[in-house]
Chain A
Amino acid sequence: DGGITQSPKYLFRKEGQNVTLSCEQNLNHDAMYWYRQDPGQGLRLIYYSQIVNDFQKGDIAEGYSVSREKKESFPLTVTSAQKNPTAFYLCASRVGGLYTDTQYFGPGTRLTVL
């Protein structure tokens, strides 16, 4: 069954701690993305990766880091430098082609900083 998985679904952390959110896909997609969503708001792009071993900052990358060592995996680390990390985090991967450019999203991880 193909898709994108994110874990954990809910995550709590204390201020000053780093935390890593997992994102795995078995869709064989090259491109992967991390978005952040705050209550009542749209999605904002944190980081993206178009190919293994390469990634680029999105619109709100400060306080976050990523790696892309495998095609299937794109973990996101929320560092203590992120001032307001409580949010809903969404991972996506993209199938590209001449006539389609669709992103598929995981179920999300809700991070709460205590």
Chain B
Amino acid sequence: DAKTTQPTSMDCAEGRAANLPCNHSTISGNEYVYWYRQIHSQGPQYIIHGLKNNETNEMASLIITEDRKSSTLILPHATLRDTAVYYCIVRVQAGGTSYGKLTFGQGTILTVHP
């Protein structure tokens, strides 16, 4: 799976959009970009994923650059409950010799303040 690089920490004011970047310059054509987050002392939570098109769901939007070497997770209206560690993961779909293992790096600590 491709390696990712994320900023160690970011701050965001409550009610504003939080834009979390991720670099994955070695991504392969069949690798997806996944985002998870982990609130303190809880299990990770799936947020969104995409291959090359931008994606949106009820939690967030995912913007992937045309060359797929980087992406941005957007939380449109951050709340205090969005304070968490956000992980960007690049991986192929599970199947064949890939058994679905998720490799979590250090992630970005997002702090939403009033």
Chain A residues with a Cβ under 8 A of chain B: 4, 6, 31, 33, 35, 42-43, 45, 48, 50, 56, 58, 88, 90, 92, 94, 96, 100-108, 110
Contact = CB atoms under 8 A, between A and B. Distances in A.
A48 B106 contact: no
Contacts of A94: 94, 100
Interface string B32-66: 10100000011111100100000000000000000
Interface string B82-114: 000001000101110001111111110000000
B48 to A, nearest CB: 10
A90 B44 contact: yes
A101 B102 CA distance: 10
A33 B45 CA distance: 15
Contacts of B45: 105
B100 A106 contact: no
A42 B46 contact: no
Given A42-B105, A101-B93, A33 B43 contact: no
Contacts of B105: 42
Contacts, number: 64
A107 B43 CA distance: 5
Given A43-B104, A96-B94, A104 B99 contact: no
B94 A43 contact: no
Contacts of B87: 42
A96 B43 contact: no
B101 A58 contact: yes
A90 B87 CA distance: 16
B103 A42 contact: yes
